[in-house]
Amino acid sequence: MDGRAEGLVIRGGVLVGDILIVDANAALGGPPPIKGRFSALERGSTDLNRTISPDGCAWKDHVTGDSGDAINLIETVLGIPTGKALTWAEDKGLRYAPAKRKRGRPPQPPTKQRVVVAPKAEPVRDGVKADLKLIATYPYQNAEGKTRYEVHRYLDADGKKTFRQGHKGHSDKWVSNLTGVDPLPYRLPKVLQAQTVYLAEGEKDVEALEAWGLVASCNSGGAGSSSSYLTFKKYFRDKDLVILPDNDSPGHKHAAAVADALMGAAKSIKIVELPDLREKGDVSDWKNAGGTPERLLKLIIAAPVMNVALLSEFRARWGIEDKEPNAKVGSIRRIEDLPSLQTWTAQRVEFAVENLIVRGGLNMITGTAGVGKSMLAMYLMAAVAKGERFLGRKTEQLTVLLLDRENPAGVVAERFDLFGLPAVGVHAWGTWLQDEPPAPDSPIVLDYCSRNPSLVVIDTLIRFHGGDESSSTDTAAFNARCRKLAATGAAVVILHHTGKGLTGSNYRGSSDIAGGVDTAYALELNEGGKGLDSLRLRCFKFRVGEMPEPLHIKLEENRFEVTSDPTAEARKTKFQAVIDAVNRSPGISTKSLVDGVRRVGVGRNEADNLIRLAVEGGEILKSSDGRGGFSYQLAGALVVSI
C-alpha cells in the first residue's frame, strides 16, 4: 500500500501507514472502554516494519524505534501535530479508547505475521448500540424548509422501539443531542400554510394522518416534552386545532398540556377521543383497525370547543390534577433541556394599542377622582372594539369586556352612547346586575378570554383588590389573579386612584401595585387646565421598550384628541414677550425690560429667568450701560424655537 493511500477509510477502519485503525466497538465486539474513543490496531498490509502487540493496543516501528498507541501512530506517520490527532480521528468516524497494558517488554516481531481483516460494520451515527435497527428518520424543518434536526426511530433485537435525536454540527459532523437547538413543530412549513392542524403524539401518527390528506404535527420527544408547546404559540396562532390523544395516562396528560399551552393563541381547540381504541393505542392503531377520515370528521364535528372549564372536566375524568390556566407543563430533567434564550427573546411584544397598551400584560391608568380616567378607558374600549386609532396610534381590533364595580348603569350607558361602542363584541358586567362582577381570574372570565382575544378593563383596582391595597402581600395576590387573566393573551387595563405620600403623584397604595404591571400611566390636568379639555397622559412605567412621551389630550365632542402642550405654548408666548420688548426699545434697561415682560402675566422671578434664558441662548445681547446697570438689544435675525 503506497503512502498516497494513508488516511483512506476502508474495511470499517482508517489506514495509517501499514496499520489499519479500526473502531473499537466493531473490532472488539462491544462498546469502547469508558475513558476513550478508539484503540484497536490491525495489520493493513504485509509490511513487517511495524508490528502490533497481541492485544491490538500498541505498535512498534523496528526501523525507527518509534512506538505507541493509535494516537501516536497518527502523529508519527501523518505528521499531525500533537493534540490534533484525536480530532482528525474523530472526523474519520473513529472512537479512541486507550487500553491498559501490563508492564513488561515492548512488543516483539512475531515469528509469523497474521493478516487481520477488519469486520464489516454499519457506521454508527447516533452513538447507539450496534444491535439497534434504524427504521425511520423524521426531519424537523424550520419555516423555510431547512432541516434543523432529526429524530431517528430504532427497533432493538426484541422489537422494542427507541428514539434518538440529533443534528449536524460544525463541519456537518453529527451531534447526538439537541443542546442549543430550539424545538420545532413537526412539518412546520405545512403547518404555517394550513388553517386546521391535527396534533398527534408522535411522528408515525402524523404520517398516518397525512396519508388521509390532512395537515398534522407533533413535537419531538412526544408526551415527555409537552412543554415544547409553550414556545409553539406563534406557529399555531389563530388556527383550528384537533388534538388526538393516545389512550393511556401519558397520552391524556400530554393532550391536556398541549391544550393548556395553546389556549388563547389558537382560534379553536378540540380534544377528540377516538372510540374503541385499545389501551396505549394511538391514531395509527385506530386507522389500522378500520378508522376512516369520514368517521373522524363526524367525531370532530360532535366534539365541543375547548375552554378552561371543559379542560378541567377532561382532567378530572382522566385523573389529572387540575392546573392554573396556561401554567407551565412538563418538567426539565436536565440542564440540556433548557430552551435557548433566543426562543423567548424572539417572541415580539404585542400591543393592543401601538407602543401604549400591551397584550398579554397588565396596564394601569391612574388619576384623581373625577379627572376622567373612566371616560378615557371607555374611549379606549370603543377604539379597540372598532379597530380605530386611539390617540393617533394604531389598535388591534379585539373583543372588549368591562368589569365595573365603580359606576352605575346609567353612567356607563351614557358613555357607551357618547363614544359609539358597538353592540357586538363588547360586554359590560357591573354592579347593576344581580351577579356581582367576578374576579379577574374567575373561570367564566378566563374561559371567555381564552376563546376571544380581548381587551379587559377593570374599574377600579380597589373594588377588585380583595385586601389592603397598602399591603404588599395582598397586592401580590391581586397581581397574580390579574396575571392569570393576562396569560390568556388579554390586554388588561386596571384603573386606579392617586393618593398621598411618596407615590401620591402616580398611584395610591403599596409599591407592588406599580411593580406588578407592565405599563403605567398617570392622567393629570395640565397646568392651569380645567375639566376634560386640558389633560396629560404621562407614562411612569414601561418595561416593554422605550418609555413614551407624555400625550396632551382633550375631549372633542365624542373622542379624545391629541393636542400640543399648552404649557409649552405659554412658555413660548412669555419668551416672545422678552424679544418683542427689546425689539421695540433697543438698549432697554433691565427694569424697563422686566416691567414689559410682566405685562403678559408673569412674576418678577419668572421675568428675570426668561431674560436670562434669552441672553444665554444668544437671542439678545446684554451689555453695561456705564451707570452700573445693563442694557439689552437684539442679537440679529431671530429664530424662536421652544
Q: Give the C-alpha separation, 85 to 47, whole Å.
A: 23
Q: Give the C-alpha separation, 379 to 295, whole Å.
A: 49
Which region among 221-225, 409-413, 446-450, 489-493 has the lowest average model confidence (pLDDT)? Answer: 221-225
Question: Per-residue confidence at 348, pLDDT binned at 50, 70, 90?
Answer: low
Residue 550, pLDDT above cutoff 50: yes
Average pLDDT over residues 402-422: 94
Tell me: the pLDDT tens digits for 24-40? 444 333 333 333 333 44
Tell which CATH architecture fits domain 188-318.
Answer: 3-Layer(aba) Sandwich (3.40)
Q: Give the C-alpha separation, 503 to 520, whole Å.
A: 13
Question: Per-residue confidence at 80, pLDDT binned at 50, 70, 90?
Answer: confident
Tell me: the pLDDT tens digits for 222-236? 888 888 898 898 899
Tell me: the pLDDT tens digits for 185-207? 999 999 999 999 999 999 999 99
State the pLDDT at residue 60.
Answer: 74
Tell which CATH architecture fits domain 351-563.
Answer: 3-Layer(aba) Sandwich (3.40)
Residue 363, pLDDT above cutoff 90: yes
State the pLDDT at residue 125.
Answer: 47
State the pLDDT at residue 304.
Answer: 93
- Cis status, amide bond into 51, omega within 30 of 0: no
Instruction: Please tell me which residue, 625 or 2, carries the higher pLDDT value.
Output: 625
Pair 29, 89: CB distance under 8 Å: no
Question: Per-residue confidence at 471, pLDDT binned at 50, 70, 90?
Answer: very high
Residue 151, pLDDT above cutoff 60: yes
Tell me: the pLDDT tens digits for 275-303? 999 999 999 999 999 999 999 999 999 99
Average pLDDT over residues 78-91: 73
Q: What is each CA distance from 436 to 165, 360, 430, 459, 539, in whole angstroms?
A: 53, 25, 7, 13, 32
Residue 8, pLDDT above cutoff 60: no
Q: Give the C-alpha separation, 347 to 414, whole Å.
A: 40
Average predicted confidence (pLDDT) for the chain: 81
Average pLDDT over residues 171-195: 87
H or E stretch at 62: none
Q: Where are the domains of the chain?
A: 3-91, 133-175, 188-318, 351-563, 568-634
Calculate the CA dihedral of residues 472, 477, 479, 481 and round it to 10 degrees. Answer: -170
Helix 590-598 vs helix 566-584: crossing angle, to nearest 10: 140
Within 10 A of 22 (CB to CB), how many other CB atoms are there?
28
Tell me: the pLDDT tens digits for 484-508? 999 999 999 999 999 654 345 799 9
Which of these, 2, 5, 101, 118, lies nearest to 53 by C-alpha position?
A: 101
Question: Per-residue confidence at 520, pLDDT binned at 50, 70, 90?
Answer: very high
E strand segments, 133-292: 133-141, 147-155, 161-168, 174-175, 196-199, 216-217, 240-243, 268-271
State the pLDDT at residue 5.
Answer: 40
pTM: 0.45
Tell me: the pLDDT tens digits for 583-630? 888 889 999 998 888 887 778 888 888 888 888 878 888 888 888 889
Average pLDDT over residues 77-88: 72
Look up the CATH number of domain 568-634. Answer: 1.10.10.10
Place of cell 431674560: 611
Average pLDDT over residues 464-475: 91
Q: How many CA atoms lie within 13 A of 84 on its CB side?
A: 5
Q: Give the C-alpha separation, 449 to 426, whole Å.
A: 12
Question: Per-residue confidence at 257, pLDDT binned at 50, 70, 90?
Answer: very high
Within 10 A of 625 (CB to CB), how many other CB atoms are there?
13
State the pLDDT at residue 79.
Answer: 72
Pair 537, 376: CB distance under 8 Å: yes
Q: Give the C-alpha separation, 45 to 34, whole Å.
A: 30
Tell me: the pLDDT tens digits for 116-148? 333 333 444 445 555 678 889 999 999 999 999
